[in-house]
Structure 1
Amino acid sequence: DFNAVRSVDERRSVRDRYRSSDHIPFNRFIDDNALIDLPLCGRKFTWFKGDGRSMSRLDRFLLSGEWCLTWPNCTQVARMRGLSDHCPLVLAADEEDWGPRPSRMLKCWKDVSWYNLFVREKWNSFELDGWG
């Protein structure tokens, strides 16, 4: 956990005591390990001080080139903060849409006496137009 930003643009504060050289060791680590820092979607900063006067982008996914070749359409998305002063990040892979998942059930449902009637009523309640 570096608790560091990569550039001056990733930090905003009322007191601008940020030294421009603070980001150098973090950037060196990223470069030395050939890591990729994906662009952040959803918001610019991921950490907010309680009074709202300071904010930084402290959270990020750092990915290997191999990962990016396997998952070429990855994005990192910052979600809304909850109780924490950090925004949760989601690493999303834009996968193919194969349509709805097939219907499945647990075998134990067959032992419930009203199960067949329940399923039949639900299936019959759908109104389909065309050849669906």
Structure 2
Amino acid sequence: MNLLSLNVRGMGVEGKSDWCRSLRKENEVNFFLIQESLCAGIEVSKIEKFWGKGNFGYEVVEPTGRSGGLFTAWDSNMFTMCSSIKNRNFLLIIGTLKVEFGLKGGNFSYAVGNKLRRIDRFLVCDNFVNKWPTSIYRILLRGKSDHSSILLKTFSCNYGPKPFRFFNSWMDREDFESVVLKVVKEFSYQGPPDIGLMLKFRCLRRALSAWRNECEAKEKEEKNIIKDDLVHLEKELEVRDLVEEELWALEEGKRRISHLETFRLRDLKQRARNLWAMEGDANSKFFHGLINRRRASNFIRGSI
């Protein structure tokens, strides 16, 4: 969405309406912010001279004496006003922004005789723009209908395989060192050293990924078995005193679950730090939304 702010120093001066209208058209402005209108009782016909033809909404703050005056107009296809707050020093417009992808392949989707209109369109939410900022919205050939088909194509950015993530908790697991040493000893390559190092890291990454998946499956199964045993022992404790072996099993089971949970919490803590480093604080969704909307409007979608 494009906004234009302009101090006109009087809307009644000859030639300024044509100048403002051409600025709006050349820059595809959706929001027009005018200061120093110096014009009371502005009518729709006056605003149309500055805005041009089309659907638009507007709000006005009257000048005080021979100074001031604010006038704001907007494209009704992109913004719907809910309310406004007026003051001689500012004009606050509150409403809903409609997100629409830029149209390619033509300007109109409906034709009857010599009349052309654009009445077919896609409206999407912010989440859609954030997920597919480089989507294409295009008018196809009219064919056998008086309405053109409209096409919305989404592109999922593929940055290749997910990067390998190493967790510090792995180094405290019993068989981690043996997995690494086994890969290093068994690896063999004859060729440039840099390629050899890359291939060795690839083998190590694959071995650690397989080992990690195996560990997660084993620990999940072990945790479920221990929990079932603890539930059984606690039920037995309600009806009788446990023998020494059962008390040991109860305490050892709790200790083991706590140990496994420590690994999980360490991994979550490391993930949280990485996520914050990549995405920033809680305001990141808002700013990423702005960036993606600008990216969608600036994206070059080819020549066809």
TM-score, normalised relative to structure 1: 0.48
Pair member with larger Rg: 2
- Looking at secondary structure, tell me which structure has more helix per residue: 2
TM-score, normalised relative to structure 2: 0.23
